[in-house]
A and B are shown apart, each in its own frame.
Chain A
């Protein structure tokens, strides 16, 4: 097998079997893009990248499920299953840190480095395509659909900076774009591609209906926590108080769960909002102080930062007690676990008027 074309002059003009690798989020657009190429008899496989910030129903997975709610699922897996294509699931979370902390093209509305993210993923996919013998790559991008990365002036930037110029096909919007190499070589029939543009979803939904695609996620939800205002605020808070823009995978997972309060610059509390969040947070107790109510129902609280001062631990316990069933009792007994040691402390739950609004991250 000859390696993917584009970079290999020895490649024959018309291979027996055209192979394409697509970036698949599992949303409607990337699913349709894959399906359009499958309809042309192209051998399609897909890749899905894990950045650590993918939403993928994480909130639903952490918190108690709402009665009757379907279980959360990984959209790309299910789209690949329905399409009948191979899915490469690739963890890029470690390399992705520099994209989030220092994006060349800046952030969108919140901490979303959409253009840098797209360039990074396209470059990764093209690298994989070359290694695995795919002839070109494709995405479900639509001209004008996203304000930062899916614009007429940013598509060429993506192609150029990802080193994939001419070899990235966008089947849903191809008729509005210059012909790509796969089209020019006759590998892909341009007449069977689309010319969608703009933020509307009706053309995609009509095409889905025509192709018999009915199982796809709602287009309303975002796919990345970095576009979420609340999440971005928590990440900024983490960076501000650590004085560095670095993060670990643990950090970004913890930002997804619980109430976050910062009563003082040097420590933060993460307070579970239900039994499932308590369970989730308890998995991160190592290296942190874990606070629980002893004789009454209440949240599991993690204390992070400089947690050694007794007065800070007392305040943390009083805040945690505030969110327990014993909040109106005179005293609540709390258990504090830290570095393998356990102690109990009887505290007065913090009254509402002493819980400062600005503590909430």
Chain B
């Protein structure tokens, strides 16, 4: 069983669109809800943690395999 409630597939999109899409997707989650983000823009490795920090979300994990980044983000207050 997966520990996220929402998949956000932003593969093929360039900065800052992965962040915009993630922001929009998280709006539909309750506080504490988790989303899995799939991205191919290497900028996600820096941008997603920074965006989480600014907006009070928790960066649960970020894994890179080749050109794919998989992140789990938990929505904050």
Contact = CB atoms under 8 A, between A and B. Distances in A.
Nearest to B49: A81
A89 B20 contact: yes
A78 B15 CA distance: 13
B14 A78 contact: no
Contacts of B42: 60-61, 65, 71-72
Interface string B41-59: 1110111001101100000
A50 B16 contact: yes
Interface string B1-35: 00000000001101111011001000000000000
A81 B20 contact: no
Interface residues of A, number: 28
B65 interface: no
A176 to B, nearest CB: 32
B20 A91 contact: yes
Contacts of B43: 56-57, 61, 71-74
Nearest to B44: A71
B23 A89 contact: yes
A72 B17 CA distance: 14
Given A78-B50, A80-B54, 13 more contacts: A57-B15, A58-B14, A61-B41, A61-B43, A62-B14, A71-B43, A72-B42, A73-B15, A74-B19, A74-B50, A77-B47, A77-B50, A77-B54
Contacts of B47: 73-74, 77-78
Interface stretch (A128-136, A149-157, A276-284, A326-334): A276-284
Contacts of B11: 283
A47 to B, nearest CB: 13
Main secondary structure of the interface of A (DSSP, over half): mixed
Contacts, number: 71
A61 B54 contact: no
B20 A50 contact: yes
B15 A72 contact: yes
A201 interface: no
Interface in A76-101: 77-78, 80-81, 85-87, 89, 91
A54 B42 CA distance: 16
B12 to A, nearest CB: 4
A68 to B, nearest CB: 13
A253 interface: yes
A85 B54 CA distance: 7
Interface in A148-195: none
A89 B54 CA distance: 11
Contact of B15 (A56, A65, A85, A283): A56
A280 B12 contact: yes
A61 B19 contact: no
B67 A77 contact: no
Contacts of B41: 61, 72
A4 to B, nearest CB: 22
A202 to B, nearest CB: 28
